[in-house]
Chain A
Amino acid sequence: MKSLAELQAIRDKMKDKVVLREGVDERRVVVGMATCGISAGARPVLNAFVEGVNAEGLASKVSVTQTGCIGLCQYEPIVEVYEAGGKTTYVKMTAEKAKKVIDEHLKNGKVVSEYTLADK
């Protein structure tokens, strides 16, 4: 059974890490989660980023957050990646495409241009 004691253990483990994390994000992943995004499939895309960033050990450098409507509803699910030097807008995202963005962009800094808005 999952217990609050387990949560206590997570807290003890995380305490120091949380202090270290503040303000050190190299990249910020933002997923649009308004009606348009959600109905187009943003929830599994967000979860793929949350899972993938942790699986790849990128959690100390990459944050994954949510936002409202970005204003390009026909291109949802939309994911924006912010980093020093600019922003990349990925459109019509899926959990599969998220994996490639994690591998190439978040890990190695190489934009996956075939998924970007500019390429549409």
Chain B
Amino acid sequence: MKELSLNILDITENSVKAGATLTSILLTEADDTLEIKIVDDGCGMSEEVVKKVIDPFYTTRTTRDVGMGVPLFKLCAEQTGGSFSIVSRDKEHHPDSHGTTVSALFFKNHIDYTPLGDIVATITTLIQGHPDTDFLFRHQKGGGEVTLDTRELREVLGDVPLSEYDVIKWIEAYLNEQYLNL
């Protein structure tokens, strides 16, 4: 992956597939670190499966036997001297508090740090593809933040889907404007 924002897109697709009603994408940036946290309330995974997903030869897909998404993201973090973790509570054992949290810490000054890239495109792509599920995006940096909560937009939009072109363009402009002030 050429941009961390592409890893974020890929990992968040797993949350949507796990039936999440809300997926939070939380970025916290300090002088030399970036923490990326993806938190969902999807069906979760058993301890056994959590151990397996960091193995590239594990996948839920039926088209082939290799799942690279999580291992690639883990590698991206670890190659900067950072860390990676995945914590999950499955629906069967935690009917009231299930979901998965993927966290990764990156050292931005490391030569093998992958740039964040076009995170706004990742957010609009997620919303365009999954208009019926909610996303909370927050990027904190130097005391300021960029934020978007599709639950608030949904309240204003009523029956109009979030995937409508004009809505997506509004979201794009809304995020870009906030980034200008960050």
Is A89 part of the binding interface, using a Cβ–Cβ cutoff of 8 Å? no
- The A-B contact count (CB < 8 A) is 94
Is B182 part of the binding interface, using a Cβ–Cβ cutoff of 8 Å? no
Of A33, A35, A70, A71, chain B has the most CB atoms within 10 Å of the CB of A35
Is A65 part of the binding interface, using a Cβ–Cβ cutoff of 8 Å? yes
The segment from A4-12, A80-88, A107-115 found at the interface with B is: A4-12
**Which chain A residues border B166 with CB–CB below 8 Å?**
10, 13-14
**Which chain A residues border B121 with CB–CB below 8 Å?**
43-44, 47
Which of B10, B122, B124, B161 interacts with A35 by CB under 8 Å?
B10
The segment from B21-29, B67-75, B93-101 found at the interface with A is: B67-75
CA distance A12 to B122 in the complex (A): 27
Contact B157 A18 (CB under 8 A): no
Contact A35 B159 (CB under 8 A): no
Given the known inter-chain contacts A10-B166, A43-B6, please indicate yes or no for A2 contacting B174, CB distance below 8 A.
yes
- Nearest Cβ on chain A to B105's Cβ, whole angstroms: 21
Contact B61 A34 (CB under 8 A): yes
Contact A11 B177 (CB under 8 A): no
Is B152 part of the binding interface, using a Cβ–Cβ cutoff of 8 Å? yes
**Which chain B residues border A50 with CB–CB below 8 Å?**
128, 165, 168
> How would you classify the secondary structure of chain A's contact residues: helix, strand, loop or mixed?
helix
Contact B1 A15 (CB under 8 A): no
Contact B63 A69 (CB under 8 A): yes
Could you show 8 A-B contacts with beta carbons less than 8 Å apart? A4-B153, A7-B167, A10-B166, A10-B167, A18-B159, A39-B10, A70-B63, A71-B63
Measured CB to CB, the residues of A under 8 A from B are 1-2, 4, 6-8, 10-11, 13-15, 18, 33-36, 38-39, 43-44, 46-47, 50, 54, 59, 64-66, 68-71, 73
Q: Which 10 A-B pairs have the closest CB atoms?
A: A71-B63, A66-B129, A2-B174, A35-B69, A14-B160, A54-B165, A10-B166, A7-B156, A11-B160, A69-B63
Measured CB to CB, the residues of B under 8 A from A are 1, 6, 9-10, 13, 17, 61, 63-64, 67-69, 72, 118, 121-122, 124-125, 128-130, 152-153, 156-161, 164-168, 170, 173-174, 177
